[in-house]
Amino acid sequence: MKNIYSNIYSFNKKILKKTVESLKRGNIVGLPTETVYGLAGNAYSKASIKKIYKLKKRPKVNPLIIHYTSLKDANKDVIFNKNFFKLYKKFCPGPITFVLKKRENTNIDKLATAGLNTVAIRFPKNNIVKTVIRSSKFPLAMPSANLSSRLSPINALDVYEEFQKKIKIIINGGKSKIGIESTVLDLTDKPRILRPGIISSKEIKKFLKTNLSHKKSRIKSPGMLKKHYSPGIPVIIGRKPSNINDAFIIFGNKYKKRKNFFDLSKNGDLKEAAANLYKIMRKIKKKGYKRIFVSKVPNYGPGIAINDRLKKASQ
Ligand code: TXA
Ligand code: MG
């Protein structure tokens, strides 16, 4: 991508240094991860956390995910357990977030965890974000880099569209490979999915050799809030539009292609569909369509995460 926006940078040693210095001063930066782009700040600094909430216009009751590159560092802030170790070994670094008990003497700012006695932690796989974390002396609090209740960004330009010059640095790491947010799993009690993702409950269950809890969460988290992931125009699921001014998101080769039809995956691959979901919704909005209709997406594997996002976008 041609760098026409002066706060979007390609990654190199010079920009790494500049990014880490900026984070140390308490500033917020836009970083790529393998799931979606994040809005990163020092998890140990109240001033940084305040800026993140303000930039996103995020309700203060919604806690942030804290990102690490090592168990040693995460161990300073949370208490690990057996289920955590099993899943860490299998899936990390990668698109999964664990909610664990917070240590009493942690330096994580209270605001970042919305005053809860738990912390959501993630070990991202993307090399750029890993290098930034390693070069900083603190973990990164990093929600998706979008305004609260909107679609997550999956490239540097998406981040720019949300915040323009309100952040000084956005690192361009290309398109996020996975394209939807990490699976969030509460491990403080019987394991429970708080937000479905590309790593499915079926895989987790198989691996832990235990059933997951389906109890409703006490915690209000955006993944749990009804309206979320909104493209900014109405989304109607399970119906075909009768009008060519409305866009239609389809899955697989079931329909004859029309100008207003957008296919999540021609081969009917759910992983590919998840990676295309936000990209296609943004494209439809940009083309000026007034509404988005969506055909049925199978409800298994990554399909569960896709349907979760679509349902919330349609509220
Ligand atoms: O893939 C991702 O997870 C991305 C990238 C940037 O890492 N981040 C992300 O963050 O999606 P955010 O803030 O958009 O979503 C975090 C989710 C929310 O549903 C939040 O409520 C939940 O994690 N969460 C954070 N801390 C929690 C906690 N202590 N207990 C329960 N849920 C928590
Ligand atoms: Mg988000």
DSSP-assigned states of every residue in 66-92: EE-S-HHHHTTTEE--HHHHHHHHHH-
Question: Is 248 in contact with 287 (CB distance < 8 Å)?
Answer: no
Question: Is 162 in contact with 147 (CB distance < 8 Å)?
Answer: yes
pLDDT surpasses 70 at 127: yes
Q: Is the CB of 200 under 6 A from ligand 1?
A: no
Confidence of residue 184 (pLDDT cuts 50, 70, 90): very high
Confidence of residue 106 (pLDDT cuts 50, 70, 90): very high
303: Cα within 13 Å, side-chain hemisphere: 14
Cα(54)–Cα(2) distance, integer angstroms = 30
Ligand 1 atom with the shortest distance to the CA of 184: 23
pLDDT surpasses 90 at 216: no
Domain boundary assignment for the chain: 8-208, 235-313
Mean pLDDT of the chain: 94
pLDDT surpasses 70 at 219: no
* Domain at 8-208, CATH class: alpha beta
Residue percentage of the chain with pLDDT more than 70? 96
Q: Is the CB of 184 under 6 A from ligand 1?
A: yes
Q: In this predicted model, what pLDDT tens digit does every residue of 264-293 receive, in sequence order?
A: 999 999 999 999 999 999 999 999 999 999
Q: Is the CB of 305 under 6 A from ligand 1?
A: no
pLDDT surpasses 70 at 78: yes
For the chain, the first-to-last Cα distance in angstroms comes to 34
pLDDT surpasses 80 at 309: yes
Give the pLDDT of residue 253: 76
Q: How many CB atoms lie within 10 A of CB 59?
A: 13
* Average confidence (pLDDT) over 149-166: 96
Question: Is 123 in contact with 33 (CB distance < 8 Å)?
Answer: no
Q: Which of 148, 162, 164 is nearest to 285 (CA)?
A: 162
pLDDT surpasses 90 at 8: yes
Cα(9)–Cα(47) distance, integer angstroms = 24
CA 129 to chain centre: 14
- Ligand 1 centroid distance, CA of 15 (Å): 27
Q: In this predicted model, what pLDDT tens digit does every residue of 244-270 receive, in sequence order?
A: 999 999 998 778 889 999 999 999 999
DSSP code for 215: P
Q: Give 101-108 contacts, CB < 8 A, sequence gap 24+.
A: 101/188, 102/77, 102/78, 103/76, 103/77, 103/78, 103/79, 106/76, 106/77, 106/78, 107/43, 107/44, 107/76, 107/77, 107/138, 108/43, 108/44, 108/66, 108/77, 108/139, 108/141
Give the ligand whose atoms come closest to the C-alpha of residue 37.
1
Structure tokens, 129: 């974000």
Confidence of residue 220 (pLDDT cuts 50, 70, 90): very low
pLDDT surpasses 80 at 65: yes
pLDDT surpasses 90 at 2: no
Q: Which of 132, 116, 111 is nearest to 47 (CA)?
A: 111
Q: In this predicted model, what pLDDT tens digit does every residue of 191-207 receive, in sequence order?
A: 999 999 999 999 999 99
Give the pLDDT of residue 3: 54
pLDDT surpasses 70 at 130: yes
The amino acid at residue 308 is D
- Test site for ligand 1: of 49, 97, 133, 158, most ligand atoms within 8 A of the Cβ: 97
Q: In this predicted model, what pLDDT tens digit does every residue of 23-45 receive, in sequence order?
A: 999 999 999 999 999 999 999 99
How much of the chain is in helix, strand and coil states, percent to nearest 5? 30, 20, 50
Environment of ion ligand 2 (residues, CB < 5 A): 144
Confidence of residue 71 (pLDDT cuts 50, 70, 90): very high
Give the pLDDT of residue 217: 64
